[in-house]
Structure 1
């Protein structure tokens, strides 16, 4: 029933747009012309502007709505705008601007870009990570975009449109004096890492591989946080540090730190935009907008602005996680 209502409203909005752009009404006897007239694109001036501290602001503000995609947006989203939830505090994916309340980073940038491509306004709300999927399922939010891995367990709750592939990375000194290109080069080296989670597990696996191959093992230095682990590379105590690639790329973008980021091939998994599974119109709209941004090159520019080119996907895939 809800699907039928939304479809009817969307069709009505499309007819109204066709009439407003100069097509004759059905009452005039030119029903064919009205039915086939292209939809008018939403007024770009009425859309949200990106925050000035957003690195991709110029790219976002230049995005114009796709009339065909905008015509198919769910009626509620057309009137209320996109309601997006994220967990702010994981740079460069999500962080606050200097005012302490405006969300910037790749995830907010992509949310704003999708909204502009669909010709709607957008609000981005900060929520604790575990509250995000429940907020989508209750209808409080239209979608979650929060560095969320698309996997089978979460697919049991939401439908994902995958927007990047992210994995682990290695931080080394600028110029890579130790010549580290991958896990095999860590044998015999001192490597720092945060003392929990997937990065430590990966490093322990690489160390075990070194031993099995008859090479020198890895001297692992464990620390409570990324900053302490990074410091060991800066001060020369460690030749490398293992962390999430997005964190490594963010650190490498700061010239004062004098470090480089190396992606660890084979560790990538898709991160997705999560939506309520029965909200088919919205899923199709978001997938269409992301594909349009990829094809236009605007998506690539968003990633480049945040030094995250290596996360790029070639197309928008639904539930690509395993």
Structure 2
């Protein structure tokens, strides 16, 4: 994605990052778990994959010894981002958990998801609290280099194993009363975005662009969860919420039975989502890349995406640090 995109969770400008739970929170059809909640034991459907036969999995030997011994890859996520990752009861489900389930069959270990606040996920890697972050996070140079939104060094950075592509989605009220077709149409209006995502940075960038172009000022509010941003749009306190395209599309399809929102996609700014790994853990990074290539080849990757109507984000091969 370009510097004007998101979550970035996000786009290329995300500090980054595509919520069924968030959407359902707005729609009231499903229980929303707050981003800040810490959910222990919320595993992918592949829990227990390793068992006594774990070492027989095709790529088990590629994993670091400590993970082989534990039989678990600890995953940090923000499970409020349907259809990518969200909660159904106490279980975390979605595109990312299903891809992880396919990866687990190649690697012979369980992927154990724990939900937390998005903008704190990367800090869990160097401490060892999690082994990877898999949370619709956009692969950006800034994240690779450990830079904050001001370009200041905040850490050693991470490596990404890229597994999906998404573009910016603009979520507006049903009927698009403001006639929004692009980011430029947001000048003179107010946005709602999730804090710590690339879309928060995208809002800042677009506000600067509006000013540079001599257009009315764009303003925005940042919220801890995307569900709060959606609520603001629905209530009329903001004209749009920026999001990843598959997430915005899912929200538009599900919130209020499809009667609350519309989604506008900007396909020209597509960028990679990546699995984040501490830069020191190159063995795990390389094992994940090999496993991802294997599930792309055997078709289980496509099955995971198609289950959630996310096939448009498929990539032909895994990449390392393909973001910019």
Which range, TM-score by smaller chain?
0.5 to 0.7
Deviation at 1:315, TM superposition (A): 1.7
Indicate the structure with greater helix content. Answer: 1
Q: Name the structure 1 match of 2:137.
A: 148
Aligned length: 251
Q: Name the structure 1 match of 2:258.
A: 257
Instruction: Label 1:89 to 1:192 Cα distance change in 2 as closer, same or farther (>3 A).
Output: farther
Gaps in structure 2 of 5+ consecutive residues: 1-42, 47-53, 145-155
Is the contact made by 1:106 and 1:303 (CA closer than 8 Å) also made in structure 2? Answer: yes
Q: Distance in 2 between matches of 1:125 and 1:207?
A: 39
Instruction: Label 1:311 to 1:260 Cα distance change in 2 as closer, same or farther (>3 A).
Output: farther
Among 77, 81, 89, which residue is 1:87 paired with?
77
Q: Distance in 2 between matches of 1:76 and 1:268?
A: 36
Is the contact made by 2:74 and 2:114 (CA closer than 8 Å) also made in structure 1? Answer: yes
Deviation at 1:127, TM superposition (A): 3.8
Deviation at 1:221, TM superposition (A): 8.8
Q: Distance in 2 between matches of 1:123 and 1:299?
A: 19
Q: Distance in 2 between matches of 1:134 and 1:171?
A: 29
Deviates more, 1:161-170 or 1:193-202: 193-202
Deviation at 1:287, TM superposition (A): 0.3
Is the contact made by 1:65 and 1:116 (CA closer than 8 Å) also made in structure 2? Answer: no
Instruction: Label 1:218 to 1:266 Cα distance change in 2 as closer, same or farther (>3 A).
Output: farther
Q: Distance in 2 between matches of 1:72 and 1:90?
A: 32
Q: Distance in 2 between matches of 1:218 and 1:136?
A: 38
Q: Distance in 1 between matches of 2:318 and 2:135?
A: 17
Indicate the structure with greater strand content. Answer: 2
Deviation at 1:248, TM superposition (A): 1.0
Is the contact made by 2:141 and 2:323 (CA closer than 8 Å) also made in structure 1? Answer: yes
Q: Is the aligned partner of 1:78 residue 2:80?
A: no
Deviation at 1:227, TM superposition (A): 2.2
Q: Distance in 2 between matches of 1:279 and 1:202?
A: 33
Is the contact made by 2:95 and 2:308 (CA closer than 8 Å) also made in structure 1? Answer: yes
Q: Distance in 1 between matches of 2:160 and 2:106?
A: 19
Q: Name the structure 1 match of 2:149.
A: none
Question: 1:136-215, aligned counterparts within 5 Å?
Answer: 136-155=125-144, 156-171=156-171, 182-183=182-183, 186=185, 193-194=191-192, 197-198=200-201, 200-201=203-204, 204=207
Bigger RCO of structures 1 and 2 (CA < 8 A, at least 6 apart)? 2
Q: Distance in 1 between matches of 2:309 and 2:253?
A: 7
- Scaled by the length of structure 1, the TM-score of the pair is 0.61
Deviation at 1:194, TM superposition (A): 0.7
Among 299, 306, 321, which residue is 1:297 paired with?
299
Question: 1:1-322, aligned counterparts within 5 Å?
Answer: 50=45, 67-92=57-82, 93-99=84-90, 102-129=91-118, 131-155=120-144, 156-171=156-171, 182-183=182-183, 186=185, 193-194=191-192, 197-198=200-201, 200-201=203-204, 204=207, 225-231=228-234, 241-245=240-244, 246-254=246-254, 256-258=257-259, 259-322=261-324
- Scaled by the length of structure 2, the TM-score of the pair is 0.61
Question: Cα deviation per residue 1:133-181 (whole Å; 9 max; x = unaligned)?
Answer: 3432243432121233322333243221112233421235778799865
